[in-house]
Amino acid sequence: MNKFWIILSHTYTTRLKTKSFLISTIISLLFIFAIANIQTIIDAFSDDSSEKIAVLDESGELFGPLKANVENIEEDIALVAFDGTVEEGKKAVQDEDYQALVTLALNENQLPEATYYANTITEAGIQTAMEEQLQQLKISAATQQAGIDQEKLAEIYAPVTFETVALDKSAKTGEELSQARGIVYVMLFLLYITVMVYGQMIAQDVATEKSSRVMEILISSVSPVTQMFAKIVGIALLGLTQIVLIIGVGYALITAKQDELTGGMFKYFGIEGASLSLFVYAIVFFVLGYLLYATLAATLGSLVSRIEDVQQLMMPMMFLVVAAFMIAMYGLNAPDASFVKISSYIPFFSPMLMFLRVGMLDVPTWEVALSLGILIATILLLALFGAKVYKGGVLMYGNSGTLKDMKKAMKLAKKE
């Protein structure tokens, strides 16, 4: 057991001091800080003054209503009446006295129309706001001409009352689904990133030791099972260190800016209202999913002698992770689909898909237990198989890097 902790601590401390870990952690923390202060950053780089739009009203009756509508909806846009000619207005825009020039007129049906002049037409937001509010004036004028009552028109355009009621008493309500959505999505994305990053890190760590011939010394003094799981746990603790830092900083920033974030994305995801059982399931499926893929990564990493070959041999595992993530993204909108349900029992998919179903649906306990049982059994079988491949694979040198090399590794393990 002492050798296990020695290898674990060596793996952890060595990776902890690497530039890649430090840089990725710093970048992640900066990203979290930027997200929490996104509005402050936008305000710092944006011009506090309103966008001045010159309006030349040839009809003499459209400017007032348009100004009231636009400035009521868009606080950053200020409409200014322009008394000159169109050419003078264009010149003023070119001289950057105004952001744009809008000419208003009435057509032959006495309905409003407009022309928008600007140095560039890349500011789609301003154009859209002007067009939408002018459309409202057109509707108002057209309905008045047709003798339609404005109150009746407002009633027609009012949103339809549409309620959703689940007849199944065990089905989750819309509020409960909203509460579960955030933690489900975060866990799926976190597991995906963890497996992709740290799974490859495990394989590279094994390949690095093989390339330096350190493995020959280690394998003679430490059992392959001890060595493999020491590396898996060591890398897991490294990932946990990074995740705790990110979550800790994120929680501190969210707590400090709770008032600013209220009603935004944080409320939409509903993480605050998620049940305790959902967090427990998240931890269980996350740990088991990591162990499954980490064991596979260590097994594959033992087959290569050069770091350059790791990426090639890891591709099948990466495809499994990507496939699970893509099915999970589909399942967020259709968690009760048969395809998602069947996939949730497949070990390489169940950490993401069964957790998704647990979060979004009322899944029977026996289904969750069956999925967990299959997943744990697969991890144990993969650990036994991986230990044998690992024992022989770490002694293989030369050109290797295909799944056929597992057979050679198994033969070498039997000779030991």
Q: Is 296 inside any structural domain?
A: yes
Examine residue 30 and state whether it is found in any structural domain, yes or no. Answer: no
**Is position 27 within any domain?**
no
Q: For 237-252, what is each residue's pLDDT tens digit?
A: 888 888 888 878 877 7
Q: What would the two tokens of residue 55 be?
A: 């309006």
**Claim: this prediction has a pTM higher than 0.85:** no
Position 22 in a domain:
no
Contact 193, 286 (CB under 8 A): no
Are 252 and 343 members of one domain? yes
3-class SS of residue 59: coil
C-alpha 83: how far from chain center = 51
How much is the pLDDT for 170?
57
**Burial level of 14, CB count in 10 A (0-12/13-18/19+)?**
middle
Both 201 and 149 in one domain: the answer is: no
Residue pair 22/71 in contact (Cβ under 8 Å)? The answer is no
- Nearby residues of 410 by Cβ (< 8 Å), 6 or more positions away: 388, 389, 392
Specify whether 135 is located in the same domain as 226.
no
Domain that holds residue 386: 172-415
For residue 2, is it within any domain? no
Number of folded domains in the chain? 2
225, 119: one domain? no
Q: Is 32 left (phi over 0), alpha (psi -120 to 50) or beta?
A: alpha
213 and 99 in one domain?
no
Same domain, 242 and 324: yes
Residues 3 and 226 sit within 8 Å (Cβ to Cβ)? yes
**91, 238: one domain:** no
* 208 and 128 housed in the same domain: no
Interatomic CA distance for residues 358 and 362, integer angstroms: 6
Pair (266, 355) in one structural domain: yes
Shared-domain flag, residues 125 and 190: no
CA 52 to chain centre: 37
- Residue that is last in its domain, among 117, 133, 157: 157
Q: Does 28 fall in a domain?
A: no
What pLDDT shows up at residue 263? 47
Tokens 């039997």 -> residue: 414
Residue 71 resides in a domain: yes
Half-sphere exposure of 113 (CA within 13 A, CB side): 6
Same domain, 205 and 303: yes
CATH number of the domain encompassing residue 149: 3.40.190.10
Q: What angle is formed at CA 337 by the lines to CA 336 and CA 340, rounded to 5 degrees? A: 95
Residue 25 lies in a domain: no
Surface-to-core class of residue 154, CB atoms within 10 Å of its CB (0-12 exposed, 13-18 middle, 19+ buried): exposed
**297 closest CA partner among 213, 233, 232, 241:** 232
- Residue located via tokens 């401390």: 13
> What single-letter amino acid sits at 31?
F
Q: Which pLDDT does position 237 carry in this prediction?
A: 85
Q: How many Å apart are CA 356 and CA 336, to the nearest integer?
A: 10
| Tokens of residue 178, six digits | 């909203």
Answer with the one of 157, 192, 219 that is the final residue of a domain: 157
Same domain, 145 and 196: no
pLDDT in tens, the chain (416 residues): 677 787 788 788 888 888 878 888 888 888 878 777 776 776 666 554 567 888 888 888 888 888 888 877 776 788 888 888 888 888 888 888 888 888 888 888 888 888 888 888 777 777 888 888 888 888 888 887 777 777 777 777 777 877 777 666 656 666 666 666 777 777 888 888 888 888 878 777 766 666 665 555 555 566 666 777 787 888 888 888 888 888 788 777 766 765 555 444 455 445 555 567 878 888 899 889 888 888 888 777 767 666 666 777 778 888 888 898 898 888 888 888 888 899 999 999 999 899 888 888 888 889 999 999 999 999 888 888 777 776 666 555 555 555 566 666 556 555 55
Of the residues 126, 157, 188, which one is the last residue of a structural domain? Answer: 157
